[in-house]
Amino acid sequence: MDNYKKLTERFQQLHHYGHLLSIAGWDQATMMPAKGNDARANAMAELGGLCHRLATAEEVGDWLAAAEQETLDNEQQANLREIKRDIENARALPESLVLAKTKAGSKCEHAWRTQRQENDWAGFADNLKEVVKLSREEAQLRAEKTGLSPYDALMDLYEPGMRSAEVDRLFDDLRSWLPDLIQTVQDAQKSRPVVEPQGPFSVEQQKQLGKHAMELMGFDFEAGRLDVSSHPFCGGVPEDVRLTTRYNTDSFAESLMGVIHETGHARYEQNLPKAWLGQPVSEARSMGIHESQSLFFEMQIGRSRSLLKHLAPQIALTFGEQDAFTPDNLYQYYTRVEPGFIRVDADEVTYPAHVMLRYEIEKALVEGEIEVDDIPDLWQQKMQSYLGIDTAGNFKDGCMQDIHWTDGSFGYFPSYTLGAMYAAQWFHCIQQQISDMEAQIEAGDLSQISQWLSDSIWQKASFLTTPELVQAASGEALNPQYFRQHLENRYLHQVR
């Protein structure tokens, strides 16, 4: 096992460098002064280049070929499979492209923070064009290595084994029933008035409430922290998880659910198998599985009648008594369906429409069917078609609202709706196994639910392929009917 051992040592080294990159990226988004961006971008590109050289060095290829002939147990074989995947992904690109894409992405993302506030599409587009150019080069190189289409080659980085043909099938099914459901729910909710919470809600109070929710969800504050950024995210490494949110003093609702969402990501990271940390097999299986954890916590649990009943006294204690803070009103408030501009603030019924729109645009962009200058008009057309919303001229709440395209993360967006489908499937399984689950949630006891997630998802990490993981956890392949069932139960039948 000498060659396998050499590979694991190299990947442990890469994990350490990756740790530094992730914390530098977190600091860039939360703490770094604006004038530090160029230096930070250069430093991160340099370290990224070093990691690329270490992963693609000639000796690594020799070790891999020899390790494939060595006698390994099942866990080691799974780790070798993931090591090989990482090596092949790294080898598909020259270091010059890795460096150029890192720098272009850092420049675009940093400028986006102010350009979005200023509704400056022209300035943003100039930077985005360079990111798209380099992303297309990457997609073409990966396509040549894998035999996939350019877009599928990028999506495979986030969803190993998933193909756009399967995403198209799932999204075609969504389109067949989602528009009618959105309209039916909106019509039904007209007869159920909601009392709006009255602000202002101080940032400090919102922080206190968010941390209370994180403790309830089981977040380990000795292995992570909560901060503020322009776009909420979960980063860092399992030993040091960094969560961010953003605050609006006129409304606490978005921040609270944003924190619960990111805590779902964090719980996954904090509970990956510690004995294998530093090895590719200990990493999250895919971004769809990762999103299934955040959406499970936010949508399945966070917006449930049971959890809101549990949280209602704490919300009233934090902000003062209001009629809006009754459990029933909070439930109606958090399950209100109303098409809006912003994806991250969308209700769970309209949310898939935001994802499908972005998927269609980014796929056409990567494949060269459209150009950056075409994005605003396409965005406007698709928002009108899917949600009946006019975004003409409103770039900051339209095609500039997301951070993903700034660094070339094309192929990521399908993960959100795949995650929602997985989350509904996990929740169905847990319901079958824990008879008093709703009572436990209402009591603030998530221990049995967390144990199921740990046993079925978190500790499995990447030892199984995604289809194997889904089959092992739920007894069947991904079944989108559970997602439809969940939405109809909650929004039409008011089961929860």
* Residues contributing to the annotated binding site: 261, 265, 291
Contacts for 57-65 with beta carbons within 8 Å, 24 or more apart?
59/6, 60/7, 60/10, 60/87, 61/87, 61/91, 62/3, 63/3, 63/4, 63/6, 63/7, 63/10, 64/3, 64/7
CA distance 7 to 264: 31
User: Can you say which residues are annotated as belonging to the binding site for Zn(2+)?
Assistant: 261, 265, 291
Kind plus residue range of the DSSP H or E element containing 441 = helix 437-442
CA distance 435 to 74: 35
CA distance 129 to 80: 37
Closest CA to 488 of 95, 177, 155: 177
Alpha carbon separation from 152 to 9, 354, 355 (Å, rounded): 31, 20, 17
User: For the chain, how big is the Rg over CA atoms in Å?
Assistant: 22
**Quick one: tokens of 181?**
């459901």
Kindly list the catalytic residues. 262
Alpha carbon separation from 208 to 132, 252, 304, 324, 404 (Å, rounded): 40, 11, 21, 19, 29
Contacts for 470-478 with beta carbons within 8 Å, 24 or more apart?
470/422, 470/425, 473/426, 473/429, 474/425, 474/426, 474/428, 474/429, 475/429, 478/418, 478/421, 478/422, 478/425
CA distance 374 to 390: 16
